[in-house]
Structure 1
């Protein structure tokens, strides 16, 4: 198959630009928030609260978000998600204003950040399924595997560059203008998205009650061992991989490497994932995928 097959579709190229800008902005924003909050509080618990504020809405809304995405036109829904992210980014930009801490107490600013992160968790629960659904409507079915590869590559690239640039931008232009840069990327993604036309809703179960849809989805997951096993493995990996949230402590108080070192530390897992992805294209796991993904080598690479 032509390795550039998906790139021959103009809308897919625009989609890659949108996805890169969003992943780049989101990963950069989370790094800047972690750095700012820990710099304000010097309390490791504050970093845990940031993660909690995002994961609670993301997990609680995940099932309902999937149902809503299935019932809604994907392009417009993605527009709403990116617009919501832009509003949150602008709010964080305002809360990081250098002179604000002289007029508003630190606690109020901190609670404002937590609230915006909470709203970001809601947006994120819709953003993921909307993006994956939109890919299938942009390219023909036979091109989808190639499109998925390019989409994953774009995600990995943005995941590497976002944290790295966040660390350097904090040092170069400060937290406030780093937030402005993030807001600019979100606006760029929003403008580019309007170059993609609206897509038809192909779901044959339009109007299906939400709880009936949820029951069918859960029944499918628990009755399909491969899907259930993959979801469980991913959940455990993400749970124990959350230790990266402590990296601001290591960067500021243990290693003393500053914001630049923090950005490099935060980008390192994504670099490892990208190298592993490239290696798997040369040496693919053809047999015993479950054993291979849980091998000591794989665990070492993921760490």
Structure 2
């Protein structure tokens, strides 16, 4: 009697890939289009305001009108992102931005849009971005499995960095053809972003939430304060950007140190984003899964060292290389920080935590530029860059002592389970 044939072997399991998730592809398209629209608009509005006013103060007000909505709406944004459908919030924000571009374009064509109209437009865009960015960050973990999140964050980061490289160039070329053309391009990009987000099929599971109160509005801050990992990673990134803001002084370096003029300045501005994009592709193929904490501190240290090299360099090519390394190191830190924050935060808290995180980042960028400017006025651009680079390295060393749990992290944490109420922070040892 012959033995029965063995059962057919199961096909070998294939590792999950980002390309298997159509919602993530649509999310990426939406984020690329929205980021590109903002970069194109930023160039066009800056040139328009300066053409109309010839005032550096007016240019500063453009940044202020973009930042104020973020400052004023942070607590509300987090509560909204944790209460309503995140996909619809993003869709509404992008649709409003597209409508604002249409209104501004019509005003420019008819001659009715002046400086006040430009300030009003950037305020509207600032308000939509205040809602859109934290909600995008809170939505992403629901689109991919937890093990793919670090890779997804790297690919998502590449979208923003690519737009940072291509957007200003596209906006400048379009403005040279006609001042209204970049506005039309930005409006079309926002419309594409809204369409892609409308096609996302993900629906978050409903979570019972209590009434809105001051306690719920402040719960994002309270969660961050209680979690050593989340607080340590956010604050480390904030102080690194705050101190290592030598890139804000690029016009001075291009003109007085490297003597490369406006064309060289454009390449210098693109170098950090180019390094970040290159690193994003590396992280997308080889995600960071081990020695996460030490790698984050090493990246911040490299960021500081690259700032020092750039500040001391009198060679254009060495400066470009230092800026590219700076951007690559910064992207490693950003991906790890974003992964730790997202994976350590329960889904029902992600909106509020992401909103506070966005405020930290926005504040550090604005204050970092101000700090670099003040220091450069006192010590010159080279001295300001040196102090910023050394300060960044010292902060990284100090944070190892202040947040030992952050340093000890080896693997990325598992996605936390939903909770009925504001969850306690996950302890990572």
Out of 148, 156, 162, which is 1:151 matched to?
Answer: 156
Tell me how large the CA RMSD over aligned residues is.
Answer: 3.4
Query: Secondary structure at the residue paired with 1:96?
Result: helix
Given the superposition, is the C-alpha separation of residues 210 and 163 from structure 1 closer, same or farther in structure 2, using an over 3 Å criterion? farther
When structure 1 is superposed on structure 2, of 52-61 and 268-277 the one drifting more is 268-277
Q: Distance in 2 between matches of 1:160 and 1:56?
A: 25
Residue 122 of structure 1: CA displacement?
A: 1.2
Residues 182 and 215 (structure 1), Cα distance of their counterparts in 2 relative to 1, 3 Å cut: closer
Residue correspondence of structure 1 range 148-187 to structure 2 within 5 A:
148-171=153-176, 173-187=177-191
CA contact (8 A) 2:154 2:280 kept: no
- 1:175 partner SS: coil
Which residue of structure 2 aligns with residue 232 of structure 1? 235
Question: Structure 1 residues 276-285 or 217-226, which shifts more?
Answer: 276-285
Between 150-159 and 21-30, the greater mean CA deviation after superposition: 150-159
Residue 214 of structure 1 corresponds to: 217
Q: Secondary structure at the match of 2:180?
A: helix
Q: Deviations over 1:80-129 (max 9, x none)?
A: 111111122223323433x61xxx5xxx7101111111121111111012
After TM superposition, give the deviation of residue 9 of structure 1 in Å. 1.7
For 1:190, the equivalent position in structure 2 comes to 194
User: Aligned pair 1:293/2:305, yes or no?
Assistant: no
CA pair 6-283 structure 1, distance change in 2 beyond 3 A: closer
1:55 paired to 2:67:
yes
**CA drift at 1:288:** 6.0
Query: Alignment partner for residue 6 of structure 1, among 18, 39, 49?
Result: 18
What displacement does 1:28 show?
A: 1.4
Change beyond 3 A, Cα 1:242–1:210? farther
How far does residue 14 in structure 1 lie from its aligned partner after superposition? 1.6
Q: Quick one: higher RCO (CA 8 Å, sep 6+), 1 or 2?
A: 1
Show structure 1 runs of 5+ residues with no match. none
- Decide which of 94, 99, 102 is 1:90's aligned counterpart: 102
The 3 A distance-change label for structure 1 pair 72 and 246 is farther
Task: Report the equivalent of 1:124.
Answer: 129
Change (3 A) 1:42 1:26: same
Aligned partner of 2:371 in structure 1 is none
Indicate whether 1:223 and 2:226 are aligned.
yes
Q: Cα distance 1:291–1:193, how it changes in 2: closer, same or farther (>3 A)?
A: closer
Q: 1:267 to 1:165 in 2, by over 3 A?
A: farther
Q: 1:283 to 1:144 in 2, by over 3 A?
A: closer
State the TM-score, normalizing by the size of structure 2: 0.59
1:272 offset after TM fit, Å? 3.6
Instruction: Tell me what 2:27 maps to.
Output: 15
CA contact (8 A) 1:6 1:147 kept: yes
* Aligned-partner Cα distance in 1 for 2:15–2:104: 40
In 1, Cα distance between equivalents of 2:104 and 2:75: 28
User: Would the alpha carbon gap of residues 216 and 41 (structure 1) be closer, same or farther in structure 2, given more than 3 Å must change?
Assistant: same
Distance 2:14 2:278 in 1: 23
Q: Aligned partners of 2:306 and 2:214: how far apart in 1? A: 38
Question: In 2, distance between residues paired with 1:245 and 1:69?
Answer: 36
Question: Residues of 2 paired with 1:27 and 1:162: CA distance?
Answer: 5
Structure 2 distance, partners of 1:158, 1:270, is 9
The size of the alignment, in residue pairs, is: 289
1:44 aligns with 2:56: yes
Is the Cα contact below 8 Å between 1:84 and 1:123 reproduced in 2? yes
Q: Which moved more, 1:287-296 or 1:275-284?
A: 275-284
Larger Rg computed on CA atoms: 2
Residues 209-263 of structure 1 show CA distances to partners (whole Å, capped at 9, x for unaligned) of 242123332222223344334333444455564975996xx89xx9774xx7776
- Distance in 2, Cα, partners of 1:174 & 1:220: 49
Q: For 1:141 and 1:175, locate their aligned partners in 2 and report how far apart those are by CA, in whole Å.
A: 45
Distance in 1, matches of 2:105 and 2:266, equals 19
